[in-house]
Amino acid sequence: MHWVHLVLALSLLQFFFFCMAVGKARGTYKIAAPATTGHAVFERYFRVQMNTLELMVVFVPALVLFAHYVSAAWAAGIGAVYLLGRILYFRAYVRDPGSRSWGYGLSAAPTLALLLGGLVGVVLALVHPG
Protein backbone atom coordinates (compact mmCIF):
# COMPACT_ATOMS: atom_id res chain seq x y z
CA MET A 1 0.00 0.00 0.00
CA HIS A 2 3.00 2.32 0.25
CA TRP A 3 2.94 2.97 -3.50
CA VAL A 4 -0.79 3.64 -3.41
CA HIS A 5 -0.31 6.10 -0.58
CA LEU A 6 2.50 7.75 -2.55
CA VAL A 7 0.23 8.17 -5.59
CA LEU A 8 -2.51 9.51 -3.33
CA ALA A 9 -0.14 12.02 -1.73
CA LEU A 10 1.19 13.06 -5.14
CA SER A 11 -2.34 13.60 -6.43
CA LEU A 12 -3.04 15.89 -3.47
CA LEU A 13 0.22 17.78 -4.02
CA GLN A 14 -0.60 18.08 -7.70
CA PHE A 15 -3.99 19.55 -6.86
CA PHE A 16 -2.33 21.95 -4.42
CA PHE A 17 0.03 23.04 -7.22
CA PHE A 18 -2.98 23.66 -9.48
CA CYS A 19 -4.56 25.79 -6.73
CA MET A 20 -1.35 27.80 -6.44
CA ALA A 21 -1.28 28.26 -10.22
CA VAL A 22 -4.81 29.66 -10.08
CA GLY A 23 -3.77 32.08 -7.35
CA LYS A 24 -0.79 33.21 -9.39
CA ALA A 25 -2.96 33.61 -12.51
CA ARG A 26 -5.46 35.60 -10.45
CA GLY A 27 -2.70 38.09 -9.66
CA THR A 28 -1.19 38.06 -13.15
CA TYR A 29 -4.51 38.74 -14.87
CA LYS A 30 -5.85 41.00 -12.08
CA ILE A 31 -8.94 38.95 -11.28
CA ALA A 32 -10.08 40.00 -7.81
CA ALA A 33 -11.63 37.33 -5.60
CA PRO A 34 -14.30 36.03 -5.64
CA ALA A 35 -14.58 36.53 -9.42
CA THR A 36 -13.91 33.47 -11.57
CA THR A 37 -14.17 35.19 -14.94
CA GLY A 38 -12.59 38.18 -16.58
CA HIS A 39 -9.62 36.91 -18.57
CA ALA A 40 -9.57 33.86 -20.84
CA VAL A 41 -6.21 32.55 -19.64
CA PHE A 42 -7.16 32.91 -15.97
CA GLU A 43 -10.39 31.02 -16.70
CA ARG A 44 -8.36 28.17 -18.21
CA TYR A 45 -6.30 27.83 -15.04
CA PHE A 46 -9.46 27.93 -12.98
CA ARG A 47 -11.15 25.25 -15.12
CA VAL A 48 -8.13 22.96 -14.75
CA GLN A 49 -8.38 23.31 -10.99
CA MET A 50 -12.13 22.71 -10.93
CA ASN A 51 -12.03 19.80 -13.38
CA THR A 52 -9.28 18.18 -11.33
CA LEU A 53 -11.30 18.61 -8.15
CA GLU A 54 -14.37 17.11 -9.84
CA LEU A 55 -12.36 14.08 -11.00
CA MET A 56 -10.57 13.62 -7.66
CA VAL A 57 -13.91 13.05 -5.96
CA VAL A 58 -14.05 9.77 -7.92
CA PHE A 59 -10.31 9.07 -8.28
CA VAL A 60 -9.35 9.00 -4.59
CA PRO A 61 -11.94 6.49 -3.34
CA ALA A 62 -11.64 4.43 -6.55
CA LEU A 63 -7.87 4.18 -6.00
CA VAL A 64 -8.36 2.96 -2.44
CA LEU A 65 -11.11 0.46 -3.39
CA PHE A 66 -9.08 -0.99 -6.26
CA ALA A 67 -5.98 -1.26 -4.07
CA HIS A 68 -7.88 -3.04 -1.31
CA TYR A 69 -9.98 -5.44 -3.40
CA VAL A 70 -7.86 -6.00 -6.51
CA SER A 71 -4.17 -5.07 -6.34
CA ALA A 72 -2.23 -2.31 -4.64
CA ALA A 73 0.57 -2.53 -7.21
CA TRP A 74 -1.83 -2.21 -10.12
CA ALA A 75 -3.69 0.61 -8.37
CA ALA A 76 -0.46 2.55 -7.95
CA GLY A 77 0.49 2.01 -11.59
CA ILE A 78 -2.91 3.04 -12.89
CA GLY A 79 -2.86 6.00 -10.49
CA ALA A 80 0.50 7.07 -11.92
CA VAL A 81 -1.11 7.25 -15.36
CA TYR A 82 -3.79 9.50 -13.85
CA LEU A 83 -1.06 11.83 -12.51
CA LEU A 84 0.60 12.01 -15.92
CA GLY A 85 -2.77 12.68 -17.54
CA ARG A 86 -3.45 15.56 -15.18
CA ILE A 87 -0.06 17.12 -15.99
CA LEU A 88 -0.76 16.85 -19.72
CA TYR A 89 -4.28 18.20 -19.18
CA PHE A 90 -2.97 21.20 -17.23
CA ARG A 91 -0.36 22.10 -19.84
CA ALA A 92 -2.67 21.59 -22.81
CA TYR A 93 -5.72 23.34 -21.38
CA VAL A 94 -3.81 26.45 -20.36
CA ARG A 95 -2.11 26.63 -23.77
CA ASP A 96 -5.14 25.74 -25.93
CA PRO A 97 -8.34 24.27 -24.44
CA GLY A 98 -9.04 22.45 -27.70
CA SER A 99 -5.91 20.33 -27.19
CA ARG A 100 -6.86 18.95 -23.76
CA SER A 101 -8.33 15.63 -24.96
CA TRP A 102 -5.25 13.44 -24.46
CA GLY A 103 -4.64 14.70 -20.96
CA TYR A 104 -8.28 14.32 -20.06
CA GLY A 105 -8.40 10.81 -21.47
CA LEU A 106 -5.25 9.80 -19.60
CA SER A 107 -6.81 10.89 -16.33
CA ALA A 108 -10.47 9.94 -16.84
CA ALA A 109 -9.80 6.44 -18.24
CA PRO A 110 -7.58 5.36 -15.31
CA THR A 111 -10.16 6.75 -12.89
CA LEU A 112 -12.91 4.74 -14.57
CA ALA A 113 -10.70 1.62 -14.62
CA LEU A 114 -10.02 1.98 -10.89
CA LEU A 115 -13.69 2.52 -10.14
CA LEU A 116 -14.94 -0.42 -12.21
CA GLY A 117 -12.16 -2.69 -10.98
CA GLY A 118 -12.87 -1.73 -7.38
CA LEU A 119 -16.58 -2.35 -7.88
CA VAL A 120 -15.93 -5.80 -9.36
CA GLY A 121 -13.58 -6.54 -6.48
CA VAL A 122 -16.21 -5.57 -3.89
CA VAL A 123 -18.90 -7.65 -5.61
CA LEU A 124 -16.60 -10.68 -5.83
CA ALA A 125 -15.73 -10.31 -2.14
CA LEU A 126 -19.45 -10.27 -1.31
CA VAL A 127 -20.18 -13.31 -3.47
CA HIS A 128 -17.12 -15.26 -2.26
CA PRO A 129 -16.41 -14.07 1.30
CA GLY A 130 -13.28 -15.15 3.06
pLDDT band at 48 (very low <50, low <70, confident <90, very high): very high
What sign results for the dihedral spanned by CA atoms 100, 102, 106, 109?
Answer: positive
pLDDT score, position 130? 75
pLDDT of 34 over the 80 cut:
yes
pLDDT tens, 80-102? 999 999 999 999 999 999 999 99
In whole angstroms, give the CA distance from residue 102 to residue 91. Answer: 11
pLDDT band at 123 (very low <50, low <70, confident <90, very high): very high
Domains of the chain by residue range: 2-125
Backbone angles phi, psi at 99, to 5 degrees: -100, 15
pLDDT score, position 1? 93
Percent of the chain whose pLDDT exceeds 90: 98
Determine if the pTM surpasses 0.85.
yes
In whole angstroms, give the CA distance from residue 38 to residue 12. Answer: 28
pLDDT score, position 99? 96
Q: Checking phi first, is residue 38 left (phi over 0); if not, alpha (psi -120 to 50) or beta?
A: left
pLDDT of 103 over the 90 cut:
yes
Q: What is the mean pLDDT of residues 113-125?
A: 98
Q: Which of 1.10.10.10, 1.20.120.550, 3.30.70.141, 3.40.50.300 would CATH assign to domain 2-125?
A: 1.20.120.550
